[in-house]
Amino acid sequence: MIRPWEQPPTGAAADVAATLAAAIPVIETERLTLRAPRIGDFGAYAEIYMSDRWPGHHAATREEVWLDYCQMIAGWLLRGTGVMAIERREGGALLGFVILNHEYGDPELELGWVLTAEAEGRGYATEAARALRDDAAAMGLTELVSYIDPENARSVRVAERLGARRDKAAEAGIAHPVLAYRHPRESRA
């Protein structure tokens, strides 16, 4: 069930939302388009974060996921970074999300990724994260870390494919068990 606050705006409010979304960059890769998140994307975001398919991840409530989604989108207004939807260029299917944001409690700017169950295992996370990482470097954001649950071997492999290496010192500042993977500056544009 879609809640009232999950409904798309109408009228002048819709125009304001469209204007703000247009200010968020669009990044294209060979197979993907990274674009501004839309209110209609929340269902997929909620499905990902409310699932129990991630090792070590607790399934969040819809309220927790809504607040996280709003925080990720607010990053664009407050910091110039945030969440981007990942779409397949061919057909426009929503595949997941890639994130460049400084979340509350994190000591550093994080590069993250989450995919729908159907999109996993096809290289989309690596492709999207590489594109966003390179775009961040072009903006002068050269210090990026990916915080990964210790039981999430798939995300560890994505980080390693991106050239990131484990940084145990960066793990010390996090309140919960996490692996920190630092992305090397020289691998970015």
- Domain coordinates of the chain in residue numbers? 28-187
The confidence band for 189, taking pLDDT boundaries of 50, 70 and 90, is: very low
Q: What is the pTM of this model?
A: 0.92
Look at residue 142 in the predicted model and tell me its pLDDT: 85
Which residues, 6 or more positions from 32, have their beta carbon under 8 angstroms from its beta carbon?
86, 87, 88, 89, 95, 124, 127, 128, 131
pLDDT digits (tens, 9 = 90+) for 79-136: 999 999 999 999 999 999 999 999 888 889 999 999 999 999 999 999 999 999 999 9
Largest CA distance in the chain: 50
Residue 152 is given by DSSP the state -
3.30.300.160, 1.10.630.10, 3.40.630.30, 3.30.365.10: which CATH number matches 28-187? 3.40.630.30
